[in-house]
Structure 1
Amino acid sequence: MLEFTPENLSAADVERLRAVYEPLTRSVRALIDATIRTQVDFDVVAAAKAEIDSATARLQSKQLDGTFGIRYLSTGERMAWGNVAIGIRNPIAPPLEVHHDASGTVWCDFHLGAAYEGPPGHVHGGVAALILDHILGEAASDGVNPRFTGTISLRYVRATRLGHLHAEATTTRTDGVKTFAVGHLADDDGVTVQAEGVFILPRWARGQPGPE
Structure 2
Amino acid sequence: MNNETRVVDVDRGEAVFAPLTRSVQQLIDATIRTEVDEDTVVEARALIERATELLAAQQISGSFGVQPTTDGGTVAWGNVAIGLRNPVAPPLVLHDDADGSVYTDIDLGAAYEGPPGHVHGGVCALILDHMLGATAHQPGNPAFTGTLTVRYVRPTRLGRIHTEARVERHEGIKTFAVGHIADADGVVTVEAHGVFIRPGAR
Mean Cα deviation higher: 63-72 or 43-52:
63-72
Q: Which residue of 2 aligns with 1:5?
A: 6
TM-score of the aligned structures, taking structure 2 as reference length = 0.93
| SS of alignment partner, residue 142 of structure 1 | coil
TM-score of the aligned structures, taking structure 1 as reference length = 0.89
Amino acid across the alignment from 1:62? Q
**Aligned mates of 1:141, 1:5 — CA distance in 2:** 24
Amino acid across the alignment from 2:118? H
Q: Which residue of 1 aligns with 2:39?
A: 43
Of 127, 130, 141, the match for 1:134: 130
Q: Kindly report which structure 2 residues correspond to 1:148-187, keeping only aligned pairs within 5 A, or say none.
A: 148-187=144-183
Amino acid across the alignment from 1:191? V
Q: Which residue of 2 aligns with 1:210?
A: none
Displacement over 2 Å in runs of 4+: 72-76
Between the two proteins, the alignment pairs up a number of residues equal to 197
Asked if structure 1 preserves the Cα contact closer than 8 Å seen for 2:6 and 2:67, the reply is no
Of 43, 51, 54, the match for 2:50: 54
Q: Which residue of 1 aligns with 2:97?
A: 101
Deviations 1:95-114 (A, max 9, x none): 01011122101000001000
Residue 28, structure 1, aligned to residue 29, structure 2: no
**Aligned mates of 1:130, 1:84 — CA distance in 2:** 9
Asked if structure 1 preserves the Cα contact closer than 8 Å seen for 2:10 and 2:69, the reply is no
Asked if structure 1 preserves the Cα contact closer than 8 Å seen for 2:172 and 2:201, the reply is no
Q: Could you tell me how far 1:75 is from its partner in structure 2?
A: 4.5
**Aligned mates of 1:21, 1:188 — CA distance in 2:** 30
**Aligned mates of 1:206, 1:103 — CA distance in 2:** 22
Mean Cα deviation higher: 97-106 or 122-131:
97-106
Asked if structure 1 preserves the Cα contact closer than 8 Å seen for 2:78 and 2:84, the reply is yes
Unpaired runs of 5+ residues, structure 2, are none
Q: Which residue of 1 aligns with 2:197?
A: 200
Q: Note the aligned Cα RMSD (angstroms).
A: 1.4
**Aligned mates of 1:64, 1:81 — CA distance in 2:** 13
Amino acid across the alignment from 2:188? V
**Aligned mates of 2:133, 2:174 — CA distance in 1:** 12
Unpaired runs of 5+ residues, structure 1, are 208-212
**Aligned mates of 1:144, 1:105 — CA distance in 2:** 19
CA change 1:133–1:88 in 2 (3 A) is same
